[in-house]
Structure 1
Amino acid sequence: IYENLPIRPLINPSPQKVNLSSLNIFTISLHGLVSSIGIIENLLILGVVGFHVRRSVISIWILNLAASDLLATSSLPFFTLYMARGNTWTLGPTFCRIHSAIFFLNMFVSGFLLAVISLDRCLVVVRPVWAQNNRNPELVKKICGGIWALAVLCTIPFYIYRGTIHLPNGKILCYYDYARALLPSEPFDLKALCKHRKEGLAFMKLFLAFLIPLLIIIISYSAVNATLVRRGYQRSFRFVRLVVAVVVTFVLCWAPYHFFIIMEVMAPNGSPLQKHASKALPISATIGFLNSIINPILYVFSCPDLCKKIRHSLGAVMESVLAEDLMELARRRSTARSSISTSDFLMKHRNSNATVCLKTDEQDKAESTANSTQQ
């Protein structure tokens, strides 16, 4: 939608007064709260799983998922700053590309990891012998490395074609600039080229980060359900609830973003439909960020053993802090008591010396008086 706008640097632009409505203030505050919760939540998971849980297949999946979610939630405060400054980007073009690349990297890593985790659980139930012989932490580490490498490769085009766009009203957008790099040497239609690149990136995100992972998740859990029913095993309520929560959360968090992206791409330039999609995209991107906060709740806090470890670790940390505080308080009290004792001893010593001196003076006076009387 911004392809035909004039791209020009602003020379000493006059500062604009940002007027925020009550809805904007609420949205900005909600962003700050969500980012804080996400950062603390994923840091807690990384700390507990990374240092207090034995390395296993599940723990490696969770560590990588938490690392991706932490990366996304750590970039959310900068998006909050963008909104607080009246939807204008003031952190420069380089950081604009980095910030956008982090968002898309998390999108691809989350989709790939959720799909592979679902496939892993499917293999454990459907092919238990194969999983017992081949499923090990070393293989999972290699798979996670391949997932991150593939996600970085998919993110490169979004880094290349991202940049800052200066609008005539003084605002600066952190948005796509499809004409900024990799232009063909022979004569070409710039408008058609930008349109093809825009459509290609939009459908690449839709298929690789949403539709294909969602299809793998649904097929995997359907196979697990069918296998359990065929073998006569009773499905636990917690398993059914987890499966439904994973699918529903993934769809609700990412479907709005991809829906409005496709709407913006397919609608004619300048049409009301395209303008509506462009206004809805920031909100849908925020909903996509919520997936990074809900994922740990679904995959980590649904595990009772891990919850016990987290509570135990937090309890150990609090006990350590309280123990250090109590030791410091006891040390200060001991120091204060020793100081008081020393002061009392010195005062008593001085008083005794003064008493001895007074007694000596009285004795001298009495002796001198007696001598004069005898004389």
Structure 2
Amino acid sequence: VTPSVPEGPLYCPLLEQMREDNLNNNNTQVNLVVVCIHGIFSSLGILENALIIWVLGFRLRQRTVASIWMLNLAMSDFLATLTLPLFTFYFYSSHSWELGYPLCIVQTSIFFFNMFVSAFLLAAISLDRLLLVSKPVWSKNHRSVARAWKLCALGWLWAALNTLPYSIFRSVIEKADSRKLCYHNFALYLSSEDSLEMDCNVRQGATAISKFLLAFFFPLVVIAGSYIKIALSLRNRHSLFSQSFTKMVTSVIAAFVLCWAPYHIFCILEMAAQYNKKIFKLVQVGLPVSATFAFLNPVLNPVLYVFSCPHFCVRIRQSLGAVFDGLVEEGGGLLTTPARNLQAYIKRRNSRDVSF
């Protein structure tokens, strides 16, 4: 039996529903608020990450493993925040993509690329912190700047490979009301009318589940597990360290979950949207909003991973380069500044009480 040849482009059933749906996005006040929020996110994210790249990439006196993690994370986040104005313009244009196919591919590719790179680097940072605490001798002998660069390069390559399916199947589709969608069309290649529904379901399910596992669930397990183990280890040493560290860890995990969990939940719900009108309406409204929350992560990362030094308010009075030198030096940073306080505290106690 010869497969039927379509007269025009094929669209997945869900995409056909989206083309015919006239979601009311003409509320000027709501759109203005969303555009303003996106503008603020974009400005903050670009400035924060550009500042970190400038200091860690050009002003740091000595490269360390910690600085390599932060520099690569900032570069990925900087790329993501650069695309925020495109997403802002999409909202400004009443949810219509008026920027053409090339920028649609660019915006999509960078969004997913940052998602995978960030997850990889945050998991790597967590494991690195755990090794520093649990195996200090091994870390001293095996950690190096060269190996950190190689791991980062591996993470960027891994992210690029995972981003390919989202870039390949991205397309600009015109809706019935003449607005345009920059969205995935899983029937774009190697599909026929006979295999359309199966191809769309398999491809959408594979991408939604794989990005949930690879860019959220598995990294979250690594991040949470590493920091919980670190916190327990440090608590057994002294409570002075554990209190400030626990607050920082809680904020890191909470930000990762709050920024990315809604997006992945709506992507999974989207798999059933074509079969349920209520879920379809919910996804239509919730997915763009959850994508906005996902864009918060590149804006928050500099605050959580760089400016969370316990004595940042004191160090801010120093020169900017000295601040970042202290934050990423192997003897200092997110984990060891409290340790130095602990050592000083023990010395003071020993000078006062020999039996301590």
Would the TM-score normalized by the shorter structure come out above 0.5? yes
| Correspondence 1:278 to 2:284 | yes
Return the match for 1:4 from 2, 16, 31: 16
- Opposite residue 119 of structure 1, the aligned amino acid is L
| Matches of 1:103 and 1:249, distance apart in 2 | 18
Q: Post-superposition shift, 1:178?
A: 0.5
50, 55, 58: which is aligned to 1:43?
50
For the pair 1:219 / 2:231, whether they are aligned, the reply is no
Distance 1:306 1:56 in 2: 23
Residues 48 and 309, structure 1, Cα contact 8 Å, conserved in 2: no
Q: Find the counterpart in structure 2 of residue 73 from structure 1.
A: 81
Equivalence map 1:139-154=2 (5 Å):
139-154=147-162
The DSSP-based 3-state class of the residue aligned with 1:163 is strand
Q: For residue 171 of structure 1, what is the aligned residue in structure 2?
A: 179
Aligned 8 A contact 2:273 2:283 in 1 = no
Q: What is the alpha-carbon distance in structure 1 between the residues aligned to residue 250 and residue 18 of structure 2? A: 47
Report the CA distance shift for 1:275/1:307 in structure 2 as closer, same or farther (over 3 A).
Answer: farther
> Could you tell me how far 1:266 is from its partner in structure 2?
2.9
Kept in 2: contact 1:228–1:234 (CA 8 A): no
Identify the residue that residue 238 of structure 1 maps to in structure 2. 244
In structure 2, the residue matched to 1:133 is 141
The within-5 A match list for 1:311-326 is: 312-313=319-320
Tell me the equivalent position of 1:100.
108
CA distance in 2, matches of 1:68, 1:78: 17
Partner of 1:249: 255
Please give the per-residue CA displacement for 1:5-47, whole angstroms capped at 9, x wherever unaligned: 5989xxxxxxxxx955211101101111110111011111111
Structure-2 separation of matches of 1:2 and 1:19:
23
**Residue 220 of structure 1: how far off its partner (Å):** 0.6
Q: Which of the residues 234, 247, 267 maps onto 1:261? A: 267
Letter in 1 for 2:37: L
User: What SS does the aligned partner of 1:3 have?
Assistant: helix
Q: Name the structure, 1 or 2, with higher relative contact order (CA <8 Å, separation 6+).
A: 2
Q: Distance in 1 between matches of 2:156 and 2:313?
A: 25
Deviation at 1:146, TM superposition (A): 0.2
> Per the alignment, do residues 135 and 200 of structure 1 end up closer, same or farther by CA in structure 2, a change over 3 Å counting?
same
* Aligned residue in 2 for 1:157: 165
After TM superposition, the structure 1 = structure 2 runs for residues 329-340 of structure 1, keeping only pairs within 5 Å, are: none
2:200 to 194, 219, 224: 194
Number of the residue aligned with 2:342: none
| Distance in 2 separating the partners of 1:277 and 1:143 | 36
Alpha-carbon distance, 1:205 to partner: 1.0
Q: 2:209 maps to what in 1?
A: 203
Structure number with bigger Rg: 1
* 8 A contact 1:92–1:164 mirrored in 2: yes
When residues 118 and 314 of structure 1 are mapped into structure 2, their CA distance, relative to the original with a 3 A threshold, is: closer
State the alpha-carbon separation in 2 of the partners of residues 60 and 161 from structure 1: 33
Structure 1 residue 242 displacement after superposition:
1.1
**Following the alignment from structure 2 to structure 1, what is the Cα–Cα distance between the partners of residues 250 and 279?**
33
After superposition, the Cα gap between the structure-2 partners of 1:276 and 1:6, relative to the gap in structure 1 and judged at 3 Å, is closer
CA contact (8 A) 1:257 1:284 kept: yes
Alpha carbons of 1:307 and 1:175: their partners in 2 closer, same or farther (altered >3 Å)?
A: farther
Q: Which runs of 5+ in 2 are unaligned?
A: 1-12, 323-356
Q: Is the 8 A contact 1:300 1:307 kept in 2?
A: no
Task: Report if the CA contact (8 A) 2:17-2:274 is conserved.
Answer: no
Which moves more between the two structures, 174-183 or 196-205? 174-183
Shift of residue 188, structure 1, vs aligned partner: 4.9
Change (3 A) 1:314 1:19: farther
The TM-score normalised by the length of structure 2 is: 0.80
Describe the superposition over 1:29-74 as per-residue Cα deviations: whole angstroms up to 9, x where unpaired: 1111110111011111111111222210111111011111111110
Match of 1:285, SS state, is helix
CA contact (8 A) 2:14 2:274 kept: no
2:39 to 28, 32, 40: 32
Amino acid at match of 1:89: W
* Deviation of the 1:243 alpha carbon: 0.6
2:99 corresponds to 1:87: no
- 1:100-125 CA deviation, whole Å, 9 max, x = no partner? 11101111111111111001000111
| Aligned: 1:290 with 2:296 | yes
Question: Is residue 122 of structure 1 aligned with residue 134 of structure 2?
Answer: no
Identify if the C-alpha distance between structure 1 residues 6 and 128 changes in structure 2 by more than 3 Å, giving closer, same or farther.
Answer: closer
Q: Letter of the 2:57 partner, please give it.
A: G
What is the Cα deviation at residue 181 of structure 1? 2.0
Identity of aligned residues (%): 41
> How many correspondences in the alignment?
304
What TM-score, normalized to structure 1?
0.76
User: Contact conserved, 1:161 with 1:178, CA < 8 A, in 2?
Assistant: yes
CA gap 1:100/1:241 in 2 versus in 1, 3 angstroms:
same
8 Å contact kept, 2:235–2:242: no
| Aligned-residue CA RMSD (Å) | 2.5
Superposition deviation, residue 228 in structure 1:
2.7
Residues 299 and 6 from structure 1, CA distance in 2 versus in 1: closer, same or farther, beyond 3 angstroms?
closer
